Amino acid sequence: MKTKVVALLLALVLASLIVLSACAPGMPEGMPPAPVRSDDLVPPVRGFYKGEVIHFIHTEASDVQVADMLTMMMGPKVLLVPGLARVPEPVLANVYVFTNGIKGDGPFGSQADVFDWAPGDDGYSPLRSVRLTSWKEGSVARELRSVEEINEAASKNELTIQPRGAVVNMPVLTWPGGQR
């Protein structure tokens, strides 16, 4: 009789464990569902803000050519989100992307991008209107690290700055005095 009671208790415990394991989540909380390879992650990009180095990522773009260019430049796919082009101007910050000039890390092989706002600024938004910035022929190209330097060069007729272009989601990861 004692053997039957022990066997019955073991059967109940085993059945309870089976039921509980079927109800439990597959992974402990906070664990990724599958291993993440480092080449799947969006790499940070170097840029400038108020003369200082910042780091950012680009995750989505409103224009297919921009999305493709950024994907080729950095690796993981930059998603095409055409609706970003309809975001009202006051919601956007700017990014100045150089199309020529000194060689660098920018999408056109020129200097790194320049941002007008960083987190903590009243005008900060991760959504950026791309302002294609080009050195005029006969100008002496040099690295510009702030919007003030860009505006000064433009006022001297050294640069052209195209109005609002594609919109790209470019959250800033590190900036002077802060990071995520």
Is 6 a domain residue?
Answer: no
Confirm whether pTM is higher than 0.75: yes
Residue 160 lies in a domain: yes
Separation CA 60–CA 74 (nearest Å):
13
pLDDT band per the 50, 70, 90 thresholds, residue 164: confident
DSSP 121: S
Whether pLDDT at 22 is above 50: no
- How many domains does the chain divide into? 1
Cα(74)–Cα(115) distance, rounded to whole angstroms?
18
> Does the residue 21 lie in any domain?
no
State residue 75's pLDDT score. Answer: 81
Residue with tokens 């006969």: 138
Which two tokens mark 89?
A: 């101007």
Within a domain: residue 139? yes
